[in-house]
Amino acid sequence: MLFVLRMLLMGVHFILAGLLGLLLGLCRPFNPDNSRLCARLYSLPALCLLRLKLKTDVRPLLEHQRSCVIIANHQSNFDLYVLGRVVPERTVSIGKKSLRWVPFFGQLYWLAGNVLIDRSNAVAAKRAMLTTTETLRNRDTSIWVFPEGTRNLGRGLLPFKKGAFQMAITAGVPIIPVCVSNYSKAMRLNRWNSGRILIRSLPAIPTAGLSLDDMPALMERCQQAMSECISSMDKELASA
């Protein structure tokens, strides 16, 4: 019964947050800080409704003052509410073009300055990535990417795709990994307290001086660091 009630309330919240975010986007379209504000609109009420206890240690992320590429593990649709709590200022994300058709959310996502990519159209996707690289270089804006490219559903990190790393190397900006403990199978939404989630950001990984030939090693370094961090957080939660 509690699960059903929560899902109903979350549905109402999703619509209301979408409407408020859409109004914000219409008032100041394509402002790169819209994403952070909209992320909080979705996250803070949702965490209260779901009774999820979130513990964050993201100082390297929040203290970084320059453009960067932020990479995070992607578990489920609940990432919107979980990771929305830690999106920093002047950060936009990359999403699939089909998000545009999600009522309210899709429109505010676009108006917030986020980048929509048509993965089925290689030419259009490449053009969008070039535009994003220029944004990193010249507009004091960071890009949030899920390098796995799809939800892993709590099965551990999937192999990373190249896009985020190619952007970072080409723009010469650092990469900041953000790690979330595996929560998708641990949440108990039929209980009053649904569970605990840890979020940590790792120190920035520089790309200055790297070429695209260095990309495989960079990808492996980031994936290994994130995998170790996630494993450490999972063990911490299991022993608590």
Determine contact, residues 59/201, Cβ cutoff 8 Å. Answer: yes
Locate the DSSP E strands across 23-89.
52-57, 69-72
Determine contact, residues 38/113, Cβ cutoff 8 Å. Answer: no
**Position 223: which residue type?**
Q
What is the band of 149 on the pLDDT scale with cuts at 50, 70, 90? confident
Identify which has the larger pLDDT, 64 or 205: 205
User: Mean pLDDT over residues 80-86, rounded?
Assistant: 96
Distances, alpha carbon 125 to alpha carbons 122, 128, 170, in Å? 5, 5, 16
- Specify the pLDDT at position 147: 94
| Termini Cα distance of the chain | 28
pLDDT in tens, 26-79: 999 988 899 999 999 999 999 999 999 999 999 999 888 789 999 999 999 999
What is the band of 161 on the pLDDT scale with cuts at 50, 70, 90? very high
Does domain 2-239 correspond to CATH entry 3.40.1130? yes
Q: Where are the domains of the chain?
A: 2-239
Q: What is the pTM of this model?
A: 0.92
What is the band of 122 on the pLDDT scale with cuts at 50, 70, 90? low
